[in-house]
Structure 1
Amino acid sequence: MNSFPYKDDQMEQADPLFMGRQQELALFHEVLGMTIGANLVNVYGTGGIGKSSLLHAFQRCCKQIGVREFLIEGHSSMQTPAAFCAQVLQLLGTSPEASVNSEDDIVNACIRQLNAVNETEQVVLLLDAYEYMESIDNWLREHFLVRLGKRLITVIAGRLPLSEAWYLSPEWRKRLLSLPLSELNFTEARQFCHVNGIHSESSIIQLWNETKGHPLMMAVAVIAMQHAAKDAIEEGALRAKNIDFLSYIVERWLREVPVQSDRTIVEAASTLRYFNQDSLSYVLGRELDTRGFRELIRYSFVYKTHHGWRVHDLLRSVVIQDLSSRSPKQYEHYLIRIVSYYYEQFTSRRRTNETTWFAGELMYYIGGPIPRAFLQGLGTMPRYFQPAAPSDFEAIRHYLQRREEEARDTEIQLYDPYSNRSFQYRQSAGQSRHSIMWVNLNELCEIGLDCFWILKDVNETIVGLAVIIPINRKSLDYLLQHPLSSAYFHGLEKCRLDAYAVPESTRSGWFIHTIDIADFENAQLHFSLAHLIISLVFSGEQIIVSPPPTSYYSDALESMLFEKTAHGAHTGYDGKTPSPTYILDTRGDKLLNYLEHMMKLAGIELITRKQPDVEKHEPKPMGNPEVILTERERQVAELLREGLTNAQIANRLHLSEITIKKHLNAMFQKLEVTNRTLLLSKLIELIWK
């Protein structure tokens, strides 16, 4: 989005919540001008996201250019076509004709008068809170709107997008424009603060951490900050001022979940940062069927991400606070299940990008406040460091030049919502340059192009650079001479140094030469940086690093249990400040020991290598005491006996096909068979005989 803020003093006075929606306004102007061929606009998003504010802005646009508009609130309990049409007639300034005797007459009169007005002037029908009009959705789609002139524009706003039935119609599909509303991005939030007289970057970042760009919460937070002395805003003060209002917003969201059992599922989903049907079933300790899962993901506060589904951050925050204080044992139970789930996912698979992601999520839950603050991020689509290609090296040169020229004093703000702790780090322009000062591309290319890792933004511009050197016979000469690494390697006994000198085709560990991001005030880049370190930690190797001597780096490394070496300190960054060398060894069984140590520090006594299966049912024998199947496995077996496919069994039991496959694989192992045919034969032989 751009052109923020909407410069209209009357609008700001009439609706201070309206912000950052210039793209939506521009699209609406195109609809009014009939330049994009759409006459049905669907605005949707979760509670407090600004749907009503946007409709009021649309209404104002119409008045400014002389377009006739009618705004209808769904809260008005219009549950019948006649009630809806009666309200439209009232807005038209007319009453049903004397000859109107039935509901059909009222509907026909409404359509006749709307079309009559639309013949002489453009008309826009604005329907707000559409979720309350569900009972007349089919009538509006099939019988009402189709009888209105195509010049008439309809805007439908609600928490959820229009149902699939709208998109199944070729006619509606070509006339429909979807406008999903999301939270403001960080740039828009900063601009909004500036417009409202808040210029302190630390206050802006604190406000962002508390509101995640949610418009209604942004407005409330700004009001709170305007009434407080700017230098008196203390850690947690904003949360204390807004928690009651936040609870009110959350209660509005949870009106969508009237059944307590469904709210329990929402609670469990909120403890997970990302979830799918399998992970949520694991955390609940029971299988959530497909129907229940689909109901969950249709709530307006649940949205799809690259890694599964996610509950809105504000709702997650309040649910976690409420659950942890109201039922700490239940909250702890969920956390243990989450840690156990990610632990099993990580330890039971070959190392891939997916297992690295599991490692990051595991670290989020067991790493404590600082790793969580680094991994918090500001978006739902995190970006990761990737190996550089030869074609990237000119861009890397430009990145280094840009970093040198644009280095500035920065104030880094990180926030952990679980502990409600903030972490501030100040870095001078000179300190900012330290992390790239020893990058000599020609020297490093001699070691190998695979040393370079880059982070790109959505525009494919490099915004982060890492140089990670594999330690072997070829690189050891460089490491023995380089100012960042020579003190450590020269201080080793000969036998230990020789152990690093493995053949060039392999490595004995990693030396992190450089790890840098373009903007240290961008929280999303901190996520990417932390994720890179975590991927190395969980690679099961030895990692050595001697970062710039600032608490930003030392806190991050020490929170992940990197240890300072007895030797290896140097002054290679500024010629005077000692910079320690850190090491972490997770080779072999040390990785599992590392994980268990981290979990114990987090107060989670696992389970780990002995975690029971998600099934909580007591095993029940099926005919033969030597063959023990769970209740669910018995149900799957019976349906398999009927000749049903996996998909048919899943549909019958309201489970996913993946879950059915898991049950079949479990039975394969118990009965020592390899396919469905052999399984049926074994079941007949041992159980059904």
Structure 2
Amino acid sequence: MLGKISAFDVRECQFVVGRQQEIALFSRFLDNRMSGGGIWNLYGTGGVGKSTLLQVYRLLAHQQGACYLLLDSRDFSHTGHDLLKALYMQMKGVPPESDPQSLLEIVLDEIQELARDRKVILALDTFEEMSGLEAWLRDRFFKWLPEQMLVLIAGRQPLKGPWLHSPVWRERIVRMPVEHLNREAAFDYLRRCGVTEEERMVRMWHHSMGHPLALSLTVATQWAPDQTLREDGMNWFDDIAALWLKEVPHKDLRRIVEAASVLRQFNQEMLSYLLEEDINASLFESLTALSFVQPSERGWKMHDVMREATCGLLRERMPKLYRSLMERCAFYYAEAILHKSRKADVSWEVVELFYYVEDYSLRAMKHMAAREKYYWEPLTDSTIMDAEAYVRDRLRTRKSTSLKKIDPESGLEIQIDLSAQESTYMIQDIDLAAFYKMDSRSVQLLRSEEGQAVAIAVLVPLHSGTIPRLSHDPVFGPFLANLAPSDRKALETPPDRPAGWFIRSLDYGDPTDPTYIAEGMKLTNAYMCSRGILVISPQPVEAVKQVFLSLGFEQVPGASHCHYDGTTPTPYFIIDTREDGLRDFLVRLLSQSGMNWSPSEEASSPKSGQESRWTSWNLTAREQQVAELVVEGHSNPEIAHRLQVSEMTVKKHMSGILGKAGVKNRVQLIRRIIGQA
């Protein structure tokens, strides 16, 4: 099931320059001229060539008969379970249905088997987006891999914090900074691209400063009729983007490029939906043939530098079109959440949706937030002491706080005043070890780039294993007692399918820091579309209440507790996305951002609508599977991979589906299924 190497891949690697040392080191590993495996940490700025180097390694591994597993952070939702599923898909195909621990054992056994007779390499690209997985990777996964296996970690920053605290991890990590190209390497690249004039090479080297992507785009501009190198002092990447857009052969492709820049990942169907027209295969192939459009597990993606620059130019030149495309992106993901949520995990779609939709309170916090990188890290056995130390320090240093922020777009003001006692209500008397033991998913720490714990969240999954214990919790117990017996029984689901989540604590080291609050909001957003309930009982302060009401929560009537100060009745707030609740919540969410969205009938009632559709179309069971995967955006080769059939078989099924549905192509099929025809 491992990826094949094409002649195109081989030719691409022949343009790689300035990486002789890194390539020689990897060759030594493949040739058994160095002992053991370990972790190689490749790091450097965006566009510097980390992903390209991983592709060179992939080619070399293939030539030596080694097993090379490559995962990009955008190819899976950032949980250990989803990472394991993505790995298993590369090794064997569709993973078996199993709980996280069982799948972990299955994947480890499969890797051990592969490592018996050949080299095995695991490469993780854009690792900066996997920060919340670092503790899981260290404590649950990497330490059990074969000793001779090599792990490649590529990201914008070097591994820090806990990776360096342990002498065992320190001795296994090899730091490999990926630098800009020096003059000699840059000139070598330019010659390979056919640029031989000394003066022109000096000019290109000077303006690109040796940044590989900038240098590559500079070469691409030399054939444009009106191409001129810009003067110093201008934004080089934006300038390159403007030049590149002029080189697109025709306006139709340029329009597709601009639309693709608004999407973080895309495929042909998504672009057709976004632009409300059929994008033919030829035009889409022209887009994917561009050098900075790269394949991903979920379709295609533009390189981050080019995407951000192109998107910025579109926003400045055509703000109305930009706003329209942003709305269509939000509508696409909202429809996808409604359509898929009853039968599949939609955490990835939710993350994408919230990229396009923000309520004013979150927007205000994000506007004031710092640009430093923070990440939520699930608690593990080795980090419990960190969490407990955080709580002790917060209680010791608590003080009154006052937070006042302004939304830059609407001008709405947020002001929250808390006494010293109120600021720590949600962590006083909390037993983190008990919640962790109850369900290991319950506690998460927000960490800075340096590894410092700056906030904590206790989000307890509601299921048959936690409900009996939560009935004795002084905060959640009264909520359960207020439920009718049938409503309480409905929460006692199997542990692998929680009925919802209870936010027992959401506490920030500095309650006035908008960065921490914005990160907390983003975390809770991920649980808002789970087709379950999300419950919280925050500080009994009117301003806090209004924040949660603005986020789409509703106050639970007739239920309260007095645990925080012993006297003040404190209410509960809930988001219930079961049944039609998810549809109503998404409508409110988009409406708060000024987007008037009317979900299709099929998406609003996916179960009954889908069953009636399959019945009316007379699809076979296998045709239904293929149709569902088409809706999710998978190509024919991906569908064949998932169903473990040939691509020819998938094409035959597609022909049958199109005929029964009365449509001519995949785009029309997608539109009809999600109600857009």
TM-score by length of 1: 0.47
Larger gyration radius, structure 1 or structure 2: 1
TM-score by length of 2: 0.48
Which structure has more RCO (C-alpha within 8 Å, separation ≥ 6)?
2
